[in-house]
Amino acid sequence: MSLRIIRPDLAVPVVVKPGQTAVDAPPPPEPLREPTVAELAVNFTGAMGRWIKAGVPVVSAEAYAARSAICSPCEHWDGRARLGLGKCKAPGCGCTSLKRWLATESCPLGKWPATPVHQAV
Ligand code: SF4
């Protein structure tokens, strides 16, 4: 059995297991935060570099729909952002729904993989 307590120095609940004191308990993981503008620029540049280097492959409409079915209910997805293109607020991302067309890209949290299916002409 474990006990959730508030450590004043952390101001958040921590889980204390039998044999531990509140001081011994590890702090909880940091909450996920949105990428900064600089991180967005790095992520975008990296994504475009991978995509161009691979020959600009795009996924099929079915694969795009499958990726969308995963992203749309995701807790990190804001479908109203960026004039309706949406925005993933997960660290290491910041993408819009357009990223789902890029075969070389994947979900930063491992919810969908890169799937090179079609090569653009
Ligand atoms: S890319 Fe991954 S983390 Fe981002 S909205 Fe889609 S499923 Fe969620």
pLDDT in tens, 64-114: 999 999 999 999 999 999 898 999 998 878 899 999 999 999 999 999 999
Distance 94 CA to ligand 1 centre (A): 9
Cα distance between residue 57 and residue 43, in whole Å: 18
pLDDT for res 76: 93
55: left (phi over 0), alpha (psi -120 to 50) or beta: left
- Count of structural domains within the chain: 2
* Same domain flag for 46 and 105: yes
Phi, psi of 68 (to 5 degrees): -65, -35
* Same domain flag for 13 and 62: no
* Same domain flag for 23 and 42: no
* Same domain flag for 43 and 23: no
Nearest residue (by CA) to ligand 1, atom 1, is 107
pLDDT for res 115: 84
* Same domain flag for 3 and 50: no
* Same domain flag for 104 and 46: yes
pTM of structure? 0.70
pLDDT for res 75: 94
* Same domain flag for 46 and 20: no
In this predicted structure, the answer to whether residue 10 has a pLDDT above a threshold of 60 is no
- Start-to-end CA distance of the chain, whole Å, equals 59
* Same domain flag for 20 and 62: no
**Dihedral, 44, 99, 51, 46 alpha carbons, nearest 10:** 20
Distance 100 CA to ligand 1 centre (A): 10
Strands (DSSP E) contained in the chain are 3-7, 12-16, 57-58, 77-78, 87-88, 118-119
pLDDT for res 52: 94
Average pLDDT, the chain: 83
Could you tell me the residue range of the domain that residue 105 belongs to?
37-119
